[in-house]
Structures are given as C-alpha cells and as structure tokens.
Structure 1
Amino acid sequence: MNVFRTMRTVVIAVLAVVALGAAPAQAHQPPSPQVPPGTSTRPVLSQAEARPFTVDNYLGWSGTYAAPVRDRWRPAPAVAHRGRPDFVVGPSIGAHGARFTSVQAAVNAAFRAGGTRRLSIAVLPGTYTATVFIPAGTPPLTLYGAGPAADVRLEYSLDATVTPAAWAAQVNPSGQYVAGDPAWDMFQSCATRTSATIGLCATVVWAQSTDLQLRGLTITNTLLDTVDRGTHQALALRTDADRTQLDSMRLISRQDTFMANANDTASIARVLVRGSFIEGDTDFVFGRASAVFEHTRFHLVSTRKASGGVIFAPNTAPAYPYGFLVLHCAITADAGYQAAPTGFLGRAWDQGAGATGYLPGITPNGQLVIRDSYEGPGFNQATPWAPAATTARPFTAPVAEGRDLNNPNANRLWEYRNVGQSAAPPVPA
C-alpha cells in the first residue's frame, strides 16, 4: 500500500503491519514538528502536560465518574482460542465443526451456558449478513474470526433515518429475535422506540456485555455510498460496557462507524483497541467511553463526502479527564482528501445540548489526546479540529502558561509529538 511506503522513515515497523492485524514492533520516530503550546486552534501539549495521558490512566479507573476507583486493566492481546472453541459458526452446519450458521445463534448459546469462565466463538471465513446483539449478562466472551479478518465478514445495511417499525422489519425478517431469547430485550428496546427515527440502533454489531473480546473480524455497515452526504448514521459496531477489547479488527462504514459507548452515563466504560483498521467519513470514532487506541489506522474517505470529514467525536463526561487516547497510530486520508486537504482530526460531541447550547460543566466535553502518531496528508493543518457536533460550538483551546487542560469553558482536544505531513503547521504564504 502506498500509504505505508510513505511512512518508511516515520514508523514503518509499527504501521506496516497494522492493515494485517499483526502485533506491531516499535520503530524509530523522527523529531515532531509540533511545538507547545501550539495555537488556540491547534493546541500542542508540553512534555510535562502530556505526562498524565497514559494507557494506565485511561484504562486504570472503574466505577462512577463521581467516585472512580483505581482498577488497573491492561489485558494481553486477545487470542483466537485456547484449544477447541466452545462454539463454531460457519456457512453450513458441520463444516469444520460448525454448529451454527448465524453468529447470533452462537451468542445466544454462550449466554445460556452461563458461568464465569471465558467462552469462545470461532467464526469461519464467509459473509454473515445479519445483525448481532450481545446482551448484558453474557459470560466473558471471545468472538473471533477463524481466518484472515478480511475473509470473516459480519455485515448489514442499516440507516439511522428509518422508523423503528421499518428497522424492526428489516433486522428481524425471519424471527432471528423472538421473545425469551437472550437478545430479545435489546431488540425490543429499539423496535418499540417512539422516536421518528431509529438513531443509534442502526448498528450491525451491538454489545452490552462486560469483558468482551472481538478479534480478527470485518464488521461493515454496507449502507456506505448508497446515500447522499447528509446525516445517515450507519454504525458498524457499538459497545456499551466496561472492559471491551478489540484486536486485529476491521470496522468499515461512513458516518458513526464505531461507537465506544458507556450505556450507564454515570459509570466509566473502558475500551482497548489494538492493531485494527477503522474507516469512515463523519464522526466515525465516537462515544463516551474511556478508550485507548494503539497501533490502529484511521482512514478518512471522500467517496460519499468530498470535504470536511471528521474522524473522532468523543462526548466525555465533563468532569472526567480521560476520554480517547490515540497512541502509536496512523491517521490517513484517501486521494480525494489528499488533493484538497479539508479533513478534520475530530470535534467534541456536545450531546444533548441542541436546545440549550453548550453548558460548561453540564454538557459532555469531549476529551482526546493524539500522541506519538502519524498524521498523513489530507487534513487541515491550521485548524484540524472542527466546531462541536450538536451545538457548533467553535473550537478554542487555551495556550497561556499554566493553562487548565480541563477548563470546562474550552475544548479538550490535544496533540503531542506527532509526525507526518498533517502534523506540521502550515507553511506561511
């Protein structure tokens, strides 16, 4: 891939394997062009300011935002299986030991098995066209592809603009979800909504269980470019619970590809993503979780939306200092954005403040640090952060000495020691 060849002097050993989902090695990184404190539209952390923004802090707290508890969570990479998997899903029954032809049926079986032992579901290569809901109360579960991630595809076409009734008919045409099944309550929570549209229920895989591991799968919302550039939320993956782990995953959509969420708005939910690939065009990595992304590639595409695309949109609890940490990652854009560099790294999601406007200390105030990463061409170098979603609150960050990095009256989107064409400040005309 051309993008990886251009990184040869940057982080080649780290990034050349990202697309393959292999365990990356460390590599020499050249000096960063980013100088603190940056500007009010592109703030840069100093070494001292960056010190708290570590994997241990983002993943090391559990409980409520009001009273977090020190609880270090730093899991080893998810493994395909230890011995024979508990359940196997395949294109046909009996093929290579497959007991199920749908992933949902295997998830239901894992839920009913119960217990506290980690269970595993192997998914054989193939395309599985259906939604998958993993309910709260499922035992610790590892759902993995038994083959290259590109060959194990979970996909469906869903658009958030449809009515709940239309959504219910679409995702349950033959009774995949029935009363009494483990995922029935999740299905009903969306099917019985009274809102005009289905909103964030438009997701291919939706997980509410703790201690979930996903590995080696491609999850695609195949709505993709079949709609205009307007607001068509189409999630590939939504996770709502604590201690969610993704390894060697491929998540593909356009708007809202991956929602790293906290279903309980008062409690911390931690997410760890490693060695993965995430593609989209609008707010395609978003949510309330305290999430760490390591050795992962985020790819902005112009096929539906030719300008102004946005990658990250955290809606972090206003008093909590840890939202998203992007570490040793690659941020890239396709040829369309490289020809006209209007892409944005991210924006805050001022969730729930459409009627009131942003309320300091009350409205979520997205927190994110991109550090020690590669930022390829295609992004706005002077103003890489867009106005906030929901309120259009202009991006501004403090630059004065002794600045408060959690000032509720300012944005909390930061960079530190990044490299690449878009990491450099623009050249004066």
Structure 2
Amino acid sequence: MSEPRSTSRHRHRRTRTGLAVGVPLALTAAGTLAYGITDLGVLGQASAAEAVPTWAADTADGFASVNSLGQNGTYGGRGGKTVTVKTLADLEKYATAAEPYVIVVAGTINMNPVGKEIKVQSDKTIVGQGTSGHIVGGGFFLGQGVHNVIIRNLTIRDSYQGIWNDKDHDFDAIQMDGAHHVWIDHNDLRHMADGLIDVRKDSTNVTVSWNKLSDNNKTFGIGWTENVKTDITIHHNWIRETEQRNPSTDNAAHAHLYNNFLEDAPNTDIGSSYGNYSRGATKMVLENSYFQGIKNPVIKDSGAAVVQRGSVFSGTSGRNESGGTAFDPKVYYPYSLDKAADVPSVLRSGAGPRADIGTTAAAGKAPAASTKAAAATTLTVAADGSGQYRTVQAAVNAVPANNPSRVVIAVKPGTYRELVKVPSNKPHVTIQGTGGSRKDTTIVYNNASGTPKPGGGTYGTGGSATVAVEADDFQARNLTISNDFDEKANQSIDGHQAVALRTAADKVFLDGVIVSGDQDTLLVDTAAKDKLGRVYVSNSYVVGNVDFIFGRATAVVDKSVITLKKRWDGTSAGYVTAPSTAANRKGILIANSTVNGDVSNGSFYLGRPWHAGGDASLDPQTTVRNTSLSAAVKSTPWTDMSGFSWKDDRFAEYKNTGAGAGSASSNRPHLSDAQAADQEVADWLAGWTPSAS
C-alpha cells in the first residue's frame, strides 16, 4: 500500500489449551480465550513420515469441536496409519484396535451375524472410499468413554427384519452409550431394524452433519438418561420418509439444530408422526431448517425449551411449538447459516457420501521415480530430499501449463525459506502441508516493500509477498505462510509493508492455515481492476497489526481467528482491514470469527478505507458480523485514511459479541436485519461453494 505505516515485532502469548487442526475456535463456555501463534494446531500426531490425505485433515465443527473432557476437538485417527479394508475381519480388527487408525472402507462389507455392531475404540476415522463404502446388515457401537471418533462417507443400510416398529431387534446404524467427541458426517443411513442413530447414556460433544437419513421408523434418538449432560449439534441433514425421532432429544443440556431438511413425501406408505422433539429438560435452539409436509413439525414437553428462528414450514400440520430460554450456540463455537429457503436444494445436492472423500492419494507418498512430474496429480516436496522436489517453487514449476485438473503439492514438515509464485497459467493447484499441525510446514521469507532488489529498485508492497497466487481455483491448507521481515533491524528502509500472502485470482480457498506477518500480512487482490477475485478463508488464523487484511478482492474470513500483534517497538496500535473495493463490488467480510490478541485495550481499529492511488471512485467495504471482539477493539472501530472519510464508504457491523462490541451509533453503524440478510457469506461468494479437492 502507498501510505507509510509503522509496524511491530511479534509477541507470543501462551494459552492453557491448544487447538485441533481445522478447529480454530474450540471455545470454552465463556467463549473468551485469546489464541496466540504458539498455540495453533497442536493436536494430531502425524509425523513427517506419515501421509495425510486431504480429506483426512478435516475435523469436526459444532459441539464435537469444543474442548472438554480432556479432548480438544474431534479429528479421529489423524496421526495414525491409513489402512484400506474390504472384509469384515479387517474392519473389525482396525476399528477395535487401541491405536489410532484412518480406516478406508473400499467396497461392500456384509455384517455376520445380521445386526452385528462393531465396538469402535477411541481415535478412529472410519470413512467410505468415495461412494463405494457400504456396511450392510449392521453398524457401529461406541461404548462408555470412547472418544475422538469420526464415522464418515459411508452407506450403512438394511438390517431391517420386516417389523416396522421393531422392539426385539436393536440393530442400529450407529449407537453410542457414554461416548464423547464423535463426528458423524456425509453418511447415508437407511432401512435399519431399530434407530439410524442413537446417542444415549450421557454421550456428549457430538456433531451430526450432512447425512441422509431415510426409510426408517425411528430415525435419531438422543438421551435416555435422567442426567442433563448431552451437548449435540445437528446440521445439514436430509431426513426423509421417516416416522418418528427426527430427532427426539431427551434431557440434552444443549441441542443445536440448524439447516436440516425434514421431508415427508406425499402418497407413500411412510408418514411422519412428529419432527423435532424437545423432551424432558432439553434446551434446544432450532434455526433455518426446512419442514416439508411434516406432521407436528416441532413439539416440546412442558419442562423443555425450544428457541425457534428462521425456519420454513411448507405443507406442515399439527403442533409447531416454541418457548422457554435456551442458549447462544456462538458462545461455544462459530457457525454460519444457509438461508432456510435454500436448504432443500443445498441438501439434495450435498448430503450423503461424496466421491471426493476417502479417495485422495496419501499426500506424503511420492510416485515411482519413473512417473513424469507433468502427469502427476500429487507432487511431493521435502527439504531433506525424500520427496520429488526440495522446494515448493520447484514443484509449482513442474505443474504443466494450463493444467485441466487438480494438482496437489504435498509439502512435508519443515521450514521452506523461499519465495513461491503460482502463475496465472497454472490453475487448480493445492499446496498442502502433510504434518499433524499447520505449524509443522512453514513457507517463509523476509522481503519488505522497501527491500532493495538485486537488479535495482525495491520490491514494493505486492512484490514483497512470500507466496504470490495469480492462478484461479487455488487452495492452501494445513500450513503456515509467513513474512518475518525484521522491522527493528531495518529502520533505515522506507516501506515496511511486508506481505506474507498475495492473491490475485478468483476462487482462492485458504483452509486451516496460518497467515502471519506484521504490516500488510494478507493482500487479497484481483488480476485486474475489472476482474472478480473471490477469496474464502476458513478455519484459519490471520496475524498482524497494520492493515493486515487488505485489497480490492471480494474476500471472506469465516470461522477463523484474527490475532492482533504489537508493533516492533512494543506499542499497541493498528488496523485490521484496509479494503480498496470497487463500486458495486463486495469487499471484505469477517463472519463467525474471533478478533483478539496480546495488545492493549482500545488500541485497534477494525478498518479504514484505502483509496488506492487516491481513486475517489472506489467504494471500500468491510462488514464484521457475528464475531467475538476482544477489548482491544476501539469503541469507534472505523477511521479515515489519506484524506478519505470512512463515513463516505461502506463499514458496518452486525450482532458482534465480546468486550469490544458496542451498540449502534453514528460512529458505529450496525446493519438492520434486512440489510444483514443481503450480507451473508453466500452473498459474497456469489454462487461459488468452496470445497476441498
């Protein structure tokens, strides 16, 4: 950026708990932890020698992500060996083992005897290979104390014994009695003798997401205990042609249901008796779900609570109840809502097993020496020479020009002090760290705007970037990108802007990364003024102090932590964002995130307008919504820049929380509910749905 600003050295702050990779906001009940860079991604035991496929780096959201009972998030068998099974004997062998495993089910496995439930032990991921993983005639059981389990991308079906309301055959797809930290995701569960999912006997910290649940009498039961302990998140599930327990939630301490689609098709043999049921002393929050043709869509006991907001009821009848007080889910974890009207189409296309889960090649395994790099879909990088390339840039260079499909550059743990540029003619590139933590793999350099270039002149702000991305459909995950320019040692240099990552492309997805610097850390740009550039940052950390999220792109920072740093001289003062948005474009959106850091109270602005080159036609925009703001944020969070008033541009907040949040005023504009409905993540992404590939 053209305006000189002072900057800082990074100061660390230790916190008492770490974070699982991909779960940066495993919040306590108070929701006030401040995370420093030294605490990022400490969970996961994968060594440099172990391969971590892209999908295996995924971790749970919702209550399964919360740090409790000695378990910080749910990441399953990450860090253990990945094994592929095709027989019941092998599946049972690895699922019941004491050590962690990622178990890939490749093909159909028939349970013998029918109704068998494999007793899964802790630290397991059981995942179907694409859409081929089927468990027929039985399921899985998670007993007392079993924890950190992921069951994903499977079809579990057909233990039905011919009796609709079967009280003799307890043949469930997934049953848990006293388990905790369990993630059930992207499965197809159907036609079982009893329930599809039973969460019983004080099981807690459970997330059930993106599943298809169908063709069954009793769908999903929760509770069966006098204790009020269960914390459960149920989101983006398609529940179709089921009669009862959709779900039935008995004595749950916190039940958060959102963006589910309950459908009772007309003129079939299966009719719903009720939908979401809050029983006993349950406290339920129900948001933005869609009920189609359901009888008694929402019911509650007299002692239970249901807080409803935003759902659609189409062709429903009977009881639709709410009342009592519940809880604020955002105290425990971040999330974003799809519009209720969009839920049927979103789930028809997105629920159930996916072809891209369970099939990615292990990232740490190099192809045979005879394989041509240009034809490879996975290129490995290792500083010690154990990969195909020793530098990240060498692997980028090996990607063929105008490559038509995804190329994964799998980078083994280590520090790579180099400059990396992904040119515009190499789209569909993923750079992924293969370690157990995003701290394990670091790409770092130390150029600044005023650093002299070998051939004369200086680098300038954009040219200072450690990693520069000019190719569309780029992804980065499970690594750190840093600029460690030493400002204190370079006070004689004019221009301390030092970019860690510059993007000048469309459909850039940064997932589970750390982007760290001081001034101008993350530059979200576009290929040209008239080009669209969309950037989605999720489950990540962005660290800096002056204008450290800036540029003209349409950028979303979602479900992430923005860490504020002191400047090089120990002072606390700075600006989070500096958008330079074109008129009629979306700017920078910070949503469902946390802004904090080891800095003084009231010392940081949320943003200021950057009219690059003095261009008065620009209309900079930053919206910060549904985000926890620490006391470091000023009570007047926006300020002018280079003679341009922030009040002439687009700066606003919506439903933020924390000590740094404040009520609406002329110096602190808030969106109305109607305005906020048009400033959600989906509005920014404009038809693009980022997904790991």
In structure 2, what residue type is equivalent to 1:83?
Answer: A
Q: Which of 600, 616, 626 is the aligned partner of 1:337?
A: 600
- CA gap of 1:125–1:415, structure 2 versus 1, over 3 A, is same
Q: Which of 207, 222, 228 is the aligned partner of 2:469?
A: 207
Is the contact made by 1:315 and 1:367 (CA closer than 8 Å) also made in structure 2? yes
Offset from partner CA, 1:295-353 (integer Å, 9 cap, x none): 11111111426233011111110232x1111111000131x323xx2211111111110
Q: How does 1:313-352 map to 2 (within 5 A)?
A: 313-320=578-585, 322-334=586-598, 336-338=599-601, 341-352=602-613
Counterpart in the other structure of 1:387: 640
Is the counterpart of residue 161 in structure 1 residue 415 in structure 2?
no
Counterpart in the other structure of 1:110: 399
- CA gap of 1:261–1:375, structure 2 versus 1, over 3 A, is same
Partner Cα separation in structure 2 for residue 158 and residue 9 of structure 1: 41
Structure of higher CA gyration radius: 2
Partner Cα separation in structure 1 for residue 580 and residue 634 of structure 2: 22
Q: How does 1:295-310 map to 2 (within 5 A)?
A: 295-304=559-568, 306-310=571-575
In structure 2, what residue type is equivalent to 1:267?
Answer: K
Is the contact made by 1:10 and 1:374 (CA closer than 8 Å) also made in structure 2? no
Is the contact made by 1:235 and 1:257 (CA closer than 8 Å) also made in structure 2? yes
Is the contact made by 1:80 and 1:146 (CA closer than 8 Å) also made in structure 2? no
Counterpart in the other structure of 1:83: 361
Q: How does 1:51-90 map to 2 (within 5 A)?
A: 82-85=360-363, 86-90=378-382
Is the contact made by 2:428 and 2:472 (CA closer than 8 Å) also made in structure 1? yes
Q: Which of 651, 654, 659 is the aligned partner of 1:413?
A: 651
Offset from partner CA, 1:111-160 (integer Å, 9 cap, x none): 35x53121111000001011000001114111100011101010011110
Is the contact made by 1:19 and 1:276 (CA closer than 8 Å) also made in structure 2? no
Offset from partner CA, 1:24-60 (integer Å, 9 cap, x none): 326889xxxxxxxxxxxxxxxxx9xxxxxx9989xxx
Partner Cα separation in structure 2 for residue 376 and residue 196 of structure 1: 37
- CA gap of 1:56–1:256, structure 2 versus 1, over 3 A, is farther
Is the contact made by 1:349 and 1:365 (CA closer than 8 Å) also made in structure 2? no
Partner Cα separation in structure 2 for residue 2 and residue 421 of structure 1: 19
Partner Cα separation in structure 2 for residue 80 and residue 204 of structure 1: 32
In structure 1, what residue type is equivalent to 2:361?
Answer: G
SS of residue matched to 2:425: coil
Is the counterpart of residue 279 in structure 1 residue 279 in structure 2?
no
Partner Cα separation in structure 2 for residue 199 and residue 55 of structure 1: 36
Is the contact made by 1:22 and 1:248 (CA closer than 8 Å) also made in structure 2? no
Counterpart in the other structure of 1:289: 553
Q: Which of 629, 636, 644 is the aligned partner of 1:375?
A: 629
Counterpart in the other structure of 2:61: 24
Partner Cα separation in structure 2 for residue 82 and residue 146 of structure 1: 13
Counterpart in the other structure of 1:8: 28
SS of residue matched to 2:584: coil
Is the contact made by 2:567 and 2:573 (CA closer than 8 Å) also made in structure 1? no
In structure 2, what residue type is equivalent to 1:387?
Answer: D
SS of residue matched to 1:200: helix
TM-superposed CA distance for 1:6, in Å, is 12
Is the counterpart of residue 126 in structure 1 residue 414 in structure 2?
yes
Is the contact made by 2:461 and 2:499 (CA closer than 8 Å) also made in structure 1? no
Partner Cα separation in structure 1 for residue 462 and residue 597 of structure 2: 25
With the length of structure 2 as denominator, give the TM-score of the two structures.
0.43
SS of residue matched to 1:220: strand
Q: Which of 616, 619, 624 is the aligned partner of 1:365?
A: 619
Q: How many residues align?
A: 327
Offset from partner CA, 1:185-223 (integer Å, 9 cap, x none): xxxxxx68xx66533200100010000010011111111
Counterpart in the other structure of 1:399: none
In structure 2, what residue type is equivalent to 1:375?
Answer: L
SS of residue matched to 2:547: coil
State the identity %.
Answer: 27
Q: Gaps spanning 5+ residues in structure 1: where?
A: 30-46, 48-53, 58-73, 170-190, 397-409
- CA gap of 1:241–1:119, structure 2 versus 1, over 3 A, is same
SS of residue matched to 2:612: coil
In structure 1, what residue type is equivalent to 2:426?
Answer: T
Offset from partner CA, 1:51-78 (integer Å, 9 cap, x none): xxx9989xxxxxxxxxxxxxxxx9x9x9
By percentage of residues, which structure has more strand?
2
Counterpart in the other structure of 2:509: 245
SS of residue matched to 1:423: coil
Counterpart in the other structure of 1:62: none
Partner Cα separation in structure 2 for residue 196 and residue 220 of structure 1: 20
- CA gap of 1:365–1:80, structure 2 versus 1, over 3 A, is farther
SS of residue matched to 1:160: coil
Partner Cα separation in structure 1 for residue 506 and residue 31 of structure 2: 31
- CA gap of 1:291–1:384, structure 2 versus 1, over 3 A, is same
Partner Cα separation in structure 2 for residue 214 and residue 104 of structure 1: 14
SS of residue matched to 1:369: strand
Partner Cα separation in structure 1 for residue 533 and residue 476 of structure 2: 16
SS of residue matched to 2:660: helix
Counterpart in the other structure of 1:221: 483
By percentage of residues, which structure has more helix?
1
Is the contact made by 2:448 and 2:495 (CA closer than 8 Å) also made in structure 1? no
Is the contact made by 2:604 and 2:637 (CA closer than 8 Å) also made in structure 1? yes
Q: Gaps spanning 5+ residues in structure 2: where?
A: 1-13, 18-24, 42-57, 64-232, 234-253, 257-309, 311-335, 340-349, 364-377, 665-693
SS of residue matched to 1:108: helix
Counterpart in the other structure of 2:299: none
SS of residue matched to 1:149: coil
Partner Cα separation in structure 2 for residue 251 and residue 264 of structure 1: 23
Partner Cα separation in structure 2 for residue 214 and residue 81 of structure 1: 19
Q: Which has the higher contact order (CA 8 A, sep 6+)?
A: 1
Is the contact made by 1:210 and 1:241 (CA closer than 8 Å) also made in structure 2? yes
